[in-house]
Amino acid sequence: MPSLTLAKTNEIIEATFAKAKEINLKPLGIVVFDAGGHVVAFQKQDGASFLRFEIASGKAYGALAVGAGSRRVEAMAKERPHFMQGLSGVSGGKVVPVAGGVLIRSQGEVIGAVGVSGDTSDNDELVAIAGIQAAGFEADGG
């Protein structure tokens, strides 16, 4: 099983930025987490506001915590806001339940997650998926 090395992680980030440039998105922050919810790499483009790391991380962390892309986490938050409040509490406030947190799967297995923040949630998710796929993994946006 190909694992989430730093080289592969950087490949994901570059491909995500490339897609964002192609479709002309606003400045982004992109984080990659391993399967245990720890940061492997992050990059923030010039002009992105200062909390991008925290927001992008909250999307990726929420996806890993629930085992589904953060689009699904967002649906959960709408359906059952009290559950999301509880999840936020037990995670120490680490979850941002909106689209743009995408699971990285390799042969079906979750090996990490990408979180993108800076444009609309839909666009954030779109480029995260493109970046993951460009690096040869399966993307699961939820």
Residue in 136, 141, 127 with CA at minimum distance from that of residue 28: 127
Instruction: Say whether residue 82 binds a copy of itself (CB under 8 A).
Output: yes
Establish if 65 lies at the interface with a copy of itself (CB under 8 A). Answer: yes
Residue 21: name the closest of 116, 127, 133 by CA: 127
Smallest CA-to-CA distance from 78 within 58, 99, 64, 94 is with 99
Q: Would you count residue 108 as binding a copy of itself (CB under 8 A)?
A: no
Query: In this chain, which of 15, 25, 60, 77 binds a copy of itself, going by CB under 8 A?
Result: 77
The packing angle between helices 70-79 and 121-134, to 10°, is 150
| Amino acid at position 22, single letter | E
CA atoms of 80 and 33, how far apart (whole Å):
26
The closest alpha carbon to 23, from 98, 127, 120, 114, belongs to: 127
One-letter amino acid for residue 103 of the chain? L
Q: Is 53 in the site for a copy of itself (CB under 8 A)?
A: yes
Find the binder of a copy of itself among 19, 43, 124, 126 (CB under 8 A). Answer: 43
Q: Contacting a copy of itself (CB under 8 A), which of 18, 22, 81, 136?
A: 81
Rule CB under 8 A: is residue 122 a binding residue for a copy of itself? no
Q: With contacts defined by CB under 8 A, name the span among 83-91, 122-130, 132-140 that binds a copy of itself.
A: 83-91
Is residue 44 part of the contact set for a copy of itself (CB under 8 A)?
yes
Under the rule (CB under 8 A), what is the footprint of a copy of itself? 5-6, 9-10, 34-46, 49-51, 53-55, 57-58, 62, 64-67, 74, 77-78, 80-98, 110
